[in-house]
Amino acid sequence: MKIGRLMRSALLLLVIIGIGIAAVVVRPTGAPDYTGAPPELHEDGHIEHVTSQVVPMPLDAFLAWHAENPILDFLQPRGQIPAVEGVTLLEGNWTEAGDRRRVNLAGGHSAAEQILERSETRFRYQIWGATTSARYVIDHAEGIFDYADQGDGTTRVTWTYRMAPKAVFTRPVLVQFMEADFAPFMGDGLARMAEAAEEVGGEGS
């Protein structure tokens, strides 16, 4: 048993070192056009994190305010996650299922996002093609925002994020990345969004 654990630990260390070296050596030479089909979503086997935050606005007011103040405005770099520098529309206007955009990241990196589902109470999207070191461990990801009117002048925003490992042996690295970097990244972003909403007094403007 001890030998088995040592071997798994050694393998994990080698994967981490390899990813770190590749991240330093390999730099993006240009933004991908992301014209191909996205990866097929995995039904299981993903690493998932869910976080939620109550925003001091009723649902209708929040949705109107959120359209002008998207979550990307409140996300900050953390650990292996670079800063978001903007977005480039690739297909559609980012308003309905099938619309696609490129998220431009610091250091010349990027990733593709495509809307899968959009309604008043849910926004679901897929992420793939990251050029950061995450590409060595993540095949694709799925994000879901659920919006629930609390009936007391507030809205609960729940963010679910599911990452599909690139391979079985990259799963431990991905679990560590989710726990150390991405889960706090999500929680902090939602908290900053709620604080910004509170500053406008719940008026939706």
Q: Could you tell me the residue ranges of all domains in the chain?
A: 45-199
Distance CA 53, CA 61 (A): 16
Confidence at residue 29, expressed as pLDDT on a 0 to 100 scale: 63
Confidence at residue 9, expressed as pLDDT on a 0 to 100 scale: 46
Q: What is the DSSP letter of 197?
A: H
Confidence at residue 43, expressed as pLDDT on a 0 to 100 scale: 86
Confidence at residue 128, expressed as pLDDT on a 0 to 100 scale: 97
What stretches in the chain show pLDDT beneath 50?
3-25, 202, 204-205
Chosen CATH of 45-199 out of 3.90.700.10, 3.30.530.20, 3.30.499.10, 3.40.50.1970: 3.30.530.20
Beta-bridged to residue 160, according to DSSP, are 50, 144
Residues 197 and 65 sit within 8 Å (Cβ to Cβ): yes
Provide the 10 A C-beta neighbour count for residue 191: 13
pTM (2 d.p.)? 0.84
pLDDT per residue as tens digits for the range 63-89 = 999 999 999 999 999 999 999 999 999
Confidence at residue 28, expressed as pLDDT on a 0 to 100 scale: 61
Radius of gyration of the chain (CA): 18
What is the number of residues in the chain? 205
Confidence at residue 186, expressed as pLDDT on a 0 to 100 scale: 98
Distance CA 84, CA 72 (A): 7
